[in-house]
Amino acid sequence: MAANMDDAGEAERARRRQAVSRTSAVGAAVNLGLSLLKIAAGVVGHSYALIVDGIHSLSDLLSDLLVWFAGRQASQAPDQAHPYGHARFETVATLVLGALLGTVALGIAWDAIGRLSPSETLLRPGPIALVAALASILTKEWLYWYTLGYAKRVRSEMLRANAWHHRSDAISSVVVLIGIAGTLVGLANLDIFAAVIVCLMIGKIAWDLIWEAIRELVDTGLQGERLAAIREIIESVGGVRDVHTLRTRKHGGNVTVDVHVLLIDPKVSVSEGHMISVAVEQRLKAEIDEINDVTVHIDPEDDERSPRCLGLPLRSDAVARLDELWSDIAAVAGRQRVILHYLNGRIDVELVLPAAVYGSDEEARDLCRRLSEALARDQDQVFRRVSVQFAGCALK
């Protein structure tokens, strides 16, 4: 099973590498061509807004290179230094990308506002600028859908952010198109104002990227409906009574879940409790694509409300104390098994004795009474009750 999980993880990382490499290569080629086209058309067509838009496309080229590098790093398998994997390389790349965009937006806005000075001679854009802006809108909108398709396929928030980066360029080109058209009909400053609006849009996108990356780096968990959905899935697993201490955090496009599960029967076997935890893990991964790692802590009782069992003796000390308390009961010497249940601040004991010890019902009940009376003499009151089983028959 571990081998299958490793194979599945490697296959997923390979798919992400391929998606990042392919979209980055296509995006870089398109952005390079568009940036050169728009800057050239802006210079020839006397459109400052189009030149600004060309610089925006150039920044998208840098973002494609950054996405490619971060994607290669993030797709590496977990190692000793990074036991949870390398997915947060994507998060750091998103943070850097946002900071880069914010810096570009501030610089361009400052220069554009300076061009409103009366000393500046404003040029009238030509029709070529209009054509270049329209070509940019159509091309970048296609690139948005192309990248978004891969982002959904491999659940990559970094690719999703880069897709919106492409769409922001399409939207900014729409603003540029409006500015150029307005300038052509005689609104001399509209081209400059369009450039400022583009910068504001870039700045908004930059802030959103930075904020989401910061939230992930400080381990902000899932909220609202997404958290409720996880809780509902866990509670639908057979044997689960309740959920508490539910914690989540994001790693790139994936989510890690850490949860305490309260069982209906507090005395299930270790193997059954383990199977319930496996069922919780598998169902969460099957029903919520983002979840790739689940840690389930099985609780026999609600340790947030029940008295804590801290300080109670563990098995070796507890059995030694039982032997001392039951030292004058000969039947205990031949016991087959002692099961300890740590519940509600004390220990419940299950004692399994061989069938030969079992005589009449009256003798069995007398033995149970003597065992219980011996436990009651324990000064520390560590033990609450004892249950006795004789060759498959249980008496309490």
Domain ranges of the chain: 2-217, 224-299, 315-395
CB 330 within 8 A of CB 293: no
**Length reported for the chain:** 396
Please determine whether the domains at 2-217 and 315-395 fall in the same fold group of CATH: no
- The CATH architecture to which 315-395 belongs is 2-Layer Sandwich (3.30)
Provide the β-strand partners of residue 250.
255
3-state helix, strand, coil in the chain (%, to 5): 60, 15, 25
**Alpha-carbon gap, residue 243 to 263, rounded angstroms:** 9
Q: Which fold has domain 224-299?
A: Alpha-Beta Plaits (3.30.70)
CB 146 within 8 A of CB 170: no
**Alpha-carbon gap, residue 313 to 321, rounded angstroms:** 9
Hey, which bits of 216-302 come out as E strands?
Answer: 240-251, 254-263, 291-299
Q: Which fold has domain 2-217?
A: Alpha-lytic protease prodomain-like (1.20.1510)
pLDDT per residue of the chain (396 residues) written in tens, 0 to 9: 444 545 555 666 677 778 888 888 888 888 888 888 888 888 887 777 677 777 767 767 777 787 888 777 777 777 777 777 777 887 887 788 788 778 877 876 776 676 565 544 445 566 777 777 788 888 888 988 998 888 888 777 778 777 877 777 777 777 777 777 776 676 766 667 777 777 787 788 888 888 888 888 888 888 888 899 999 999 999 999 999 889 998 877 778 899 999 999 988 989 999 999 999 999 999 898 788 889 999 988 877 777 777 889 999 999 999 999 998 888 888 888 899 999 888 999 999 888 766 667 788 888 889 999 999 888 888 999 998 888 655 555
User: What are φ and ψ of residue 249, in 5° steps?
Assistant: -155, 155
